[in-house]
Amino acid sequence: MQTIRGFRDILPEHIPLWQKVEKEAIFLFESFGFKEIRIPVLEKTELFARSIGEVTDIVEKEMYTFADRKGAKLTLRPEATASIVRSYIQHKMYATDPVRKFFMIGPMFRRERPQKGRYRQFYQIDAEVFGIESAFIDSQLIFLLNELFKRLGLTGLSAHINSLGCPDCRPSFQKALLNFIESKKDKLCENCIRRMDKNPLRILDCKVTGCKEALADAPATLDHLCNVCDDHFNTVKTTLEQQKVDFIVDKSLVRGLDYYTRTAWEIQTTSLGAQSAVAGGGRYDGLVKELGGPQTPAIGFAIGFDRLVEVMEQVDKSPGTNPLNLFIISLGDKAMKKGYHWSCELNQLGVYTEMDYRGKSMKALMKRANKLGAQYVLIAGENELAEHAVILRNMNTKEQVSLAVETLVPELIKIVKK
Ligand SMILES: [Zn+2]
Ligand SMILES: [Zn+2]
């Protein structure tokens, strides 16, 4: 039996980096006032169709959607924002306190074309802020991401930022965009032509080379911003400058989802030589209302966890693993019984202790202790027990001491736990 195409196991030897990222992220999130939320992996298909947009790559081509045994149409979550918005509305969080900050870490599912470094079950670290329209929050999220990546050792960080405007400035932009697309119609692919009437903005996501070339000089939302959006974007830029966060204004950044308004961004790193995006986010001031809640400004981002770990594997060669403190070599039935109880007691007291239960020889057990990288080895045979004293060997210095059986555990803790 094998995993499904595009799915993978993350094996224990790769976990230390995943845990390092999680630890650092949770620590930062909590310092910035975010609370963890856990949401289901399965939701009604309608939730994603309505929030991400019917005419988007994700909803049209990539979602894992199926009917359950009663015929309900369900989808494995392709992203977290829609579910968190659903939760915010469902639990009427806006009524007690509209200002909420959440983070979540977990798997997402998209049936994309399999390619190196892309998985159909992939992981995201996601953060969302509700109830704050101020541009300071936009800057703060970008600042937070930048800080997290710096702490994780990433280099050449820069934020690519853009403003997608609001419902007030959209119509002027859409008109200009439609005129432009009309003039390039003969150069566009079938998919783009189909999207022209339904969702012209999504034509800008098209990955077909001919379309990309034809759309290189397409009108940008940035040139059609209303005064309020313009002020908002200026505040984001000046704040980032004051905070010394490197950024580039990128007019072509549109993000592939319908719900974004105003600030959208991607964080790029050059840690692997070429530029690659490790996180993206944006404001979505209309989505809470769209999904049935009161008008509530909101903003969030997602970090591509798999991609981030891939980058870190190149820059972080020695993630902290949990070293084996003690290996107990018990020779004979009596010593095995003693050793078992000692090891459990030490485990309970936080000393990482292992022993072998297969009745192997002294030589084989020493070999195993070496293989596991044990810092100390405790040797207990019939002779040692008869003399009520066992041997503790420091595997680094090769020094050995004799310890009394009666006071063994407290003595061991003094020596082994530094
Ligand atoms: Zn506007
Ligand atoms: Zn196209």
Residues with CB under 5 A from ligand 2 (ion): 189, 192, 206, 208, 211
The C-alpha atoms of residue 178 and residue 43 are separated, in whole angstroms, by: 34
pLDDT tens for 282-336 read 999 999 999 999 999 999 999 999 999 999 988 876 666 788 999 999 999 999 9
One DSSP character per residue, 125-191 reads EEEEEES---HHHHHHHHHHHHHHHHHTT--S-EEEEEE---TTTHHHHHHHHHHHHHHTGGGS-HH
Tokens representing residue 114 in the block:
């399999």
Q: Where are the domains of the chain?
A: 12-169+225-315, 326-413
CA 262 to ligand 1 centroid distance, Å: 7
At the second CATH level, the architecture of 326-413 is 3-Layer(aba) Sandwich (3.40)
What integer best gives the mean pLDDT of the chain? 94
Determine the angle formed by the axes of helices 227-242 and 135-151, rounding to 10 degrees: 30
In tens, the pLDDT along 171-210 reads 999 999 999 999 999 999 999 999 888 888 888 888 899 9
Nearest ligand (C-alpha, residue 170)? 1
Give the DSSP per-residue string, 204-245. GG---HHHHHHTTT---GGGG--HHHHHHHHHHHHHHHHTT-
pLDDT of residue 248: 97
Mean pLDDT confidence for 106-134: 94
Q: How far is the CA of 259 from the centre of ligand 1 (A)?
A: 14
Q: What is 12-169+225-315's CATH number, 3.30.930.10, 3.30.70.3270, 3.40.47.10, 3.40.50.850? A: 3.30.930.10
What pLDDT digit, counting tens, does each position of 248-268 carry? 999 989 887 888 999 999 999
Q: Which residues of 213-241 are buried (b: 16+ CB within 10 A; e: fewer)?
A: ebbeebbbbbebbeeebeebbebbbebbe
pTM of the model: 0.91
Contact by Cβ (8 Å): 158, 248: yes
Closest ligand, as measured to the CA of 195 = 2
From ligand 2's centre to the CA of 254, what distance in Å? 15
Tokens (6 digits) for 130: 């509700």
Q: Do residues 158 and 249 touch, judged by C-beta distance below 8 A?
A: no
Q: How far apart are CA 411 and CA 416, in angstroms?
A: 9
Within 13 A of 11's CA, how many CA atoms are on the CB side? 1
